[in-house]
Amino acid sequence: MTPQAKLIFAISLLLGTTIVISSNHWVTIWAGLEINTLAILPLIAKSHHPRAIEAATKYFLTQATASTLLLFSATTNAWYTGQWDITQLTHPAACLILTSALAMKLGLAPFHFWFPEVLQGSSLTTALILSTAMKFPPMTLLLITSPSLNPTLLTSMAILSAALGGWMGLNQTQIRKILAFSSISHLGWMVIIVSYNPKLTLLNFYLYALMTTTVFLTLNVIKTSKLSTLMTTWTKTPALSAMLMLTLLSLAGLPPFTGFLPKWFIIQELTNQNMAPAATAIALLSLLGLFFYLRLAYCATITLPPHTTNHMKQWHTNSPTGITIAILTTTSIMLLPISPMILTTI
């Protein structure tokens, strides 16, 4: 793929995201989501591998179905209320259909089956875009329409996402699939609190995007996509492997790393909302994901000889990519000490 084509697709992604987050009309939002979908499809299928073509097909069918449901929800609401404004979503059937559409867009359980397969068929850079940037427009819609959605349904889907994301990631050996199930589990934490404190959902999404970007960029530098190759990286890039281990522990939500910050706030807010059973359930289910995070961190730090005699070029922190990863990693693992300041602004 030529640089000009990549530039066009990147501009289209920015354009689609900007249209979605700045519009208040359902048809315009639908058009922005379609621009996003059409822009990311060539990036998924650019390797021309059968698995990449399969991933692009699955992504297109899923996103097209979700966009159709979203437009159907808006049309149903407009039929009964005469309003196309995004903040005037009042009809119960339209709210239910919109919840299903956004869950399908985000990869939230029980509409999550497409996400691990699409990530597995994509490159690490495209998987990073799918896990972070492509989730921002539907997450924005979820934040805006959260007062109209059913809190009980969102809580049930959130707990199911945390359970399936942790349970199905246990027996995976492909890192992209593990990170896909990690994304599903983190979506459960975001959705369970969106009806009560949307600012916490936004904080959780930003920190998740920061840590996930760090992990994907690190994996892209060390050219690793399986656990078997991750176990040989310590002998070649010990500093980067150590930083990857700390970032994975932060992504797992262990204190005192950054990833513990949103979970701490969410559990506190759920307790204040008299939802202690839901807070207990999602906290216990996050222990399932903690297991494969610890396994990834362990594989990143054990010392095994490479399978081949060709050693990769040593990683240096003075390269632009190295400096970027160092900055992202530092932020990903050292943000928790400023949590009192963040807490006062929420």
Please state, rounded to an integer, the average pLDDT across all residues of the chain: 86
pLDDT level of residue 321 (50, 70, 90 thresholds):
low
Give the separation between CA 112 and CA 155, rounded to whole angstroms: 16
Q: How far apart are CA 65 and CA 71, in angstroms?
A: 10
Confidence of residue 268 (pLDDT cuts 50, 70, 90): very high
Let me know: does 192 contact 266? Beta carbons within 8 Å. yes
| Spatial separation of the C-alpha atoms in residues 145 and 3, rounded to whole Å | 38
pLDDT in tens, 137-152: 999 999 999 999 999 9
Indicate if the pLDDT at residue 336 is higher than 70: no
Looking at the whole model, is its pTM more than 0.85?
A: yes
Closest to 182 in 3D by CA, of 162, 210, 201, 158: 162
Q: Span 315-336, mean pLDDT? A: 67
CA separation for the pair 203, 206 (Å, rounded): 5
Candidate from 47-56, 121-130, 137-146, 293-302 with smallest mean pLDDT:
293-302
Q: What are phi and psi of 304, to 5 degrees?
A: -130, 145
Asked if 188 contacts 162 with a C-beta cutoff of 8 angstroms, the reply is yes
In this structure, the number of other CB atoms found within 10 A of the CB of residue 124 comes to 20
Domain extents in the chain: 3-345
* Cα 98 to Cα 189: distance, rounded to the nearest angstrom: 19
Residue pLDDT, tens place only, 89-118: 889 999 999 999 999 999 998 899 999 999
